[in-house]
Amino acid sequence: MDCATIQATSVFTATLSVLAAVFSATTAYRSFQLACSIQEDMKSDERLIIGAVAHPALRERSHAEAVIQIPIFNKSKRKAYIDGLSVYDRASKPIDVTWSEKIDNLGNPEHPSKLVGVIDSVTLYIRRNDGEELNYARVLFSHSFSENRDMVIFDSSAEFVKAANEAARNS
């Protein structure tokens, strides 16, 4: 082979290599975008839905006043974990509480831990450690589906007003 043919073959090979590299990079970028899209689509249903917060029905009404229950529903197919919980009063002062997914007949949390799994649904029970009535509570909790904390507010006086208004409407 002469020198011109070798040089033309080298240029053709180099051009072909550059085109293959560009195609490979484009394909890798599109694969990355697709993977991100699939991951976002999977996470789009990762949401916890909070039910109505109320005092539980216990044998001793005085014990129920120190406890609130929060029904939590998991919309996702993946298990969620509630891994932190803080409760505050109207003046934003922290309330010392114990929480769990089960309580005994007197409203005492059974096997309290700092981690509760939510497959389909779970009811969180939160009890004041001092045994006082829990008429207002701003509950902040963290879970595995979000880096931000979710907030739930319980106000028994608001529930009373809402129930009274509804009873007046129905009569």
pLDDT digits (tens, 9 = 90+) for 74-108: 888 888 888 888 999 989 999 999 898 888 888 88
Percent of the chain with pLDDT over 70: 88
Please state which architecture CATH assigns to domain 48-170.
Sandwich (2.60)
Task: pLDDT band for 41, please (50, 70, 90 cuts).
Answer: low
- Average pLDDT score, the chain: 82
pLDDT single digits (tens) 43-63: 556 778 888 888 888 777 777
Stretch 25-43: mean pLDDT, rounded?
Answer: 81
pLDDT attached to residue 44: 56
pLDDT attached to residue 71: 92
Instruction: State the pTM of this model.
Output: 0.67
The alpha carbon of residue 19 and the mean position of all alpha carbons in its chain are separated, in whole angstroms, by 46
Cα angle 90-96-100, degrees, rounded to a multiple of 5:
110
Which of these, 65, 57, 47, lies nearest to 127 by C-alpha position? Answer: 65
Q: Is the pLDDT of residue 146 over 90?
A: no
Domain limits, the chain: 1-44, 48-170
Cα angle 154-157-159, degrees, rounded to a multiple of 5:
65
